[in-house]
Amino acid sequence: MRHTPKSPTRPLRCCARLSALLPGILLDACSATPLAVPDDVPVWRQGVELAEPSHVGWNQQNEPFGKDFRWRVGDRVLYALTRDNQGDIQKQLIEIRVEALAPPFERQLVGGPRVEGQRVGGKSKGARWSHIFFYPDQDGKQQSLKSMSMQVRVMISDESGKELSTSTSDVPEAYLRMGFFGGCKVGAGLRTRRQYRKDENGKLHLRAPVELYEAVASLQALFSVVASSASLRPIIEDVIEKPPLIVLLPALLGGGISISVAPDIMAARTAEIPGHDGVEGYSFPISFSINDYPGLYARVLVAPPDELAPLGAGIVAVEGRHPSHKDIWLSMRLLGSRRGPLPAASR
């Protein structure tokens, strides 16, 4: 799977395109102008009732994965999702679990960025990567982030713990490791210290550090789970405002429908993470639109992935609301992460 950002001059964006009226999402990389997220969309909504994790055999303790962690079969993360549709409240639990790892990949890599002490880019003779994300470095030269796949299972349960649906998908494991935190930290600094370069035509391009592209790769990794998950697609589609027919008319005539997912990483701000004193956090706005029609306003709270929720790319919370109806909103909160058992050879 190859992703090539079309333009590094704008804040980095992601775009998910629907091949039909909303039955499924196909992720691609593109430049999309983010919508202004209103101030009334909080980083952390107060008073939200969540489903009880004990109903699926969890407690709320978090197991840090550590700086140099390696994935294990059985690694898990649990989120609580609460949706309020004008007083109709639904509470669910979302568990993501590593089902199978990529085959061992022992080739020596030369060059390329490091993620958690391991190289995820560079050159390797005969290397076969499952995912390659191309991006321009600060001098305009094409570079890439590479990843192998691992299989994850997504299980959704209702608030009583009853399983509603289960699906599996292959995700780029290195992109989840990268997470959003590094991109937010760099992006927040770029608000006042942006540097540009000129191409051969005299056009200005932002000198974007690799961490910004790592954040985009992480977003694509998460949406690849949504794209291939029959469990998650209906949830996403249910909370996004559908545009009027006149907006969809070109699509119905063959123009295609697109859902744009535009994170504004360079609008990131430092933020506290409730219940995790001493863990550094950032929040950033993200907007969803359908054929440029506002679909959802949201804010995302993130932490370093090795400390909290590596399977969720470090996401601690998502708060979103309907663009037209403030009484239609959702809250997603991290409840905990757990390590799988050590491989037999490591015991």
pLDDT of residue 312: 93
Residues 220, 50, 328: CA angle, nearest 5 degrees: 70
pLDDT of residue 32: 64
214 compared with 202, residue with greater pLDDT: 214
Q: Is residue 30 pLDDT above 60, yes or no? A: no
What total of structural domains would you count in the chain? 1
Per the listing, tokens 């009880």 go with 52
pLDDT of residue 104: 57
pLDDT of residue 179: 93
pLDDT of residue 128: 62
Q: Find, among 1, 37, 308, the residue nearest to 133 by Cα.
A: 1
Distance CA 266, CA 284 (A): 8
pLDDT of residue 85: 86
Q: Is residue 160 pLDDT above 50, yes or no? A: yes
pLDDT of residue 196: 67
pLDDT of residue 200: 74
DSSP 65-120: --TT----TT-EEEEEEEEEETTEEEEEEEEEEEEEPPPP--PPPBSS-EETTEE-
101 compared with 206, residue with greater pLDDT: 101
pLDDT of residue 83: 92
C-beta separation of 59 from 163 below 8 A: no
Domain range enclosing 185: 2-346
Three-state SS for 323? Answer: coil
Query: Model confidence over 187-206: pLDDT tens digits?
Result: 888 766 666 666 777 776 67
Distance CA 268, CA 248 (A): 32
Q: Is residue 13 pLDDT above 70, yes or no? A: no
Q: State the average pLDDT for the chain.
A: 79
Question: What is this structure's pTM?
Answer: 0.82
Q: Is residue 342 pLDDT above 70, yes or no? A: yes
72-76, 199-203, 217-221, 309-313, range with the lowest pLDDT:
199-203
Q: Find, among 217, 101, 205, the residue nearest to 152 by Cα.
A: 101
